[in-house]
Structure 1
Amino acid sequence: MTHNLQVERIYRSESRRVLATLIRLLGDFDLAEEALHEAFFVAVQRWHHDGIPDNPRAWLVSTGRFKAIDRLRRQARFTPLLQEQADALEAADWSAEDVEDDRLRLIFTCCHPALAADAQAALTLREICDLSTEEIACAFLATPVTIVQRIVRAKHKIRDAKIPYQVPSLAELPGRLDSVLRVIYLVFNEGYSASTGADLTREDLTREAIRLGRLLMELLPEPEVMGLLALMLLHESRRPARTSASGELVLLNEQDRSLWDASLIAEGCALVEQALTTPRFGSYCLQAAIAAVHAEAPNAKATDWPQIVGLYDVLLRAVPSPVIELNRAVAVAMGQGPLAGLALVDGILQRGELQDYHLAHSARGEFCRQLGRVDEARAAYARALTLTRQTPEQRFLEQRLAELQAHQQ
């Protein structure tokens, strides 16, 4: 592996952890980001001659910290208070052993209740997951300018309100949990089904979300934490089978289940069972229970669709959502036929909901295709194609449209 490729690999694996530690040490998002980039710039030059250090993360944190101190001292000529800040940073102790939980500290900071919910998610995806503003905008159906504004406002709020960079106390934790779970799941979903790009999945994000889920589980083994971790593990277990060797999308009922990760399934199912024994389970546990029913079926035909529909009914009562309705419609179609599913999807779309959600139109196209309603299927697939920005999904929809065209000729 060439030197530049090694540095790039370390950037991908370590940059967010280094940034989280620099934010803790420096107390400033923007200063930490500048220090991170300067540290990697120095690394490219020095590591070429000196070799990669045994602990590159600690080296990068130390280098970034001193670069930030130098920057503050240069600026202190114009703002004397910065000299005091630089002196304090230089005098402060830090240990390479303390960095492992920094990303968990950072996620609680990004998800602080003083921040608006949309700002929490945008800030977490940017700072913890290194998504671009364009990728975040696509995920939230917003413009990049809007996302930048949310992130800037959130950083200012953290600075001005002196929001602490720490994991809350056990007494505070339950009240802060919902937003953290929601954002961790957002991170996982972006990895499980990337909003844009050439690949269906981003393993770095799913792995990181699961790691954060495990850390949170150690800290607070509540039923919903178990449920979210189980849900992520069960979904992740199917990742190797979700695309073909050539990168093409493979639908759930067509996947080679021998490729599913049995160890992740076992761990996820055990967590579901443990969580459901308590009276405090919620939406993540119910979603994990649905995923467990899929995981335990030896093949698609053996799937217990009535049980899945029943779980969706309970989930909808707990968390009314048109996306959950859509997922339930697919389950109904699998158990009762495409006509039943189509009626439910049409009901959602006729209410004006999910009009810009490509999976709703893709599902409608699939049901119409199965029913032989070719013109409607073509229109639905074409609409879905205009809405997705993910290359494998685009190829899948183009293939469906080509098949329909060939069928009519």
Structure 2
Amino acid sequence: MEEKYNIGRGVLLLIIFALLSYIFTSMTVWTTDGKYLFVSRYLRINQHNRIISGENFAPDQYRFGSYYLVENLFKFLPIEWLDENSEELSRMLLSRDYWTEEKKGMIDSYFPVAEREKLVSDGEKVIEELVDSVTGKNILLNNALKAFASSLNWQVYLTDPATTALLIGEKLPEDIKRAVELSSDENRILNGHITARFFFNILTLILLYGFCRVFSSPSESLLSTVIFQAIMPLTTMYFGWETFHGAALFIGGLLLIAKRGRFYLLCLLMALGSLFRPDHMIFLSLIYLLFNLESGLSWQKRAFILSKSLIAGSIPAVLTFVVSRFIFPDAEYSVDLIQFRYNMTYIWSWIYPMIFASIPLLFLREVKRCGFFRKTWFWVIPFIAMNFLIARTAEVRLFTPVIAFLAPLVGIGLQRFFPGRSIENTAIE
């Protein structure tokens, strides 16, 4: 009976996590990938192609893992993502069948024919006055210029939006036109990135729930996971392709450390994570050191744990060195490496670090009670300091590892502040 209950709970959790991931992924399609309609699509497709060809700027070129996953796997998964605005614009520019009487009637409702005809009339007056001012008393030149302006048929483009839209679509450069055409191979690339985001979001939530279960009950763990996902929309202002890839592997590392898993698995996971966020993975070695380095250990065991931590920490460092020096040596940073001055003078670079760094202060009792967090919380300080030095801390996605690390504390702490009671034991007021 217990086994059947656990299976049912697992299926329910998977459905919840898939639903939350689908909602978030769909939101990013509208707010991030389609923020500027086909311009956003073109820029993202172009970035993918530059990464694959090894011609992109650093540090994105060094985080090539998500791009190769899409190039070799996810772009072949036939999963469509709703983007009505981009689809509407695509058909408007590229399909004559789009321009039915109904669509033309909608245009007339928003932009009445009388107003368009008035624009034409005003335009003709402006052209006439301009030509008169240029030609003076030269009647021959005056008539020639007016005839030339009339021959351009510019009036049609104001009175007939369908003709204008289709002409724009026809004249688009070929690479931009492929970005506008949602059924093109180029848009399969973009859909592949969106699909990868969806699946890695699910994986992130599954692993985070497992990490929370090390310290808390199923209900508290689910609460922690849902709160984590509720914060994720803040990451979309500066969203990176690799956000959930790196988050899933970082949380997997936390889970291995908390459950004292095999060290070689941690090293393997950090190596994979270094293809997405090597700067995040290196802190797993610090967490491993803080968790395992206890005061009562002999100096031999201390040295052994320290050496293992150094080995783990060297993995992302060495891989980054190899990638930057030998695989993509020509990749140059698009911005300054040191961002300290920017962060010092931009208010939002202070707000988010202060918010996330203060979370442990709200749940000090939980930090003191749980040995894992009591031993390892210190890593958050150098992590924030590193990002304050070489990144822009207004980008919430940078703090995904910190949010995931603190998630169990939030679930446990909220249960303390809001203790649950069953319906049977709750008096009706």
Give the TM-score, by structure 2 length: 0.27
Q: Which has the higher contact order (CA 8 A, sep 6+)?
A: 2
Query: Highest CA radius of gyration, 1 or 2?
Result: 2
Higher helix share goes to which structure? 2
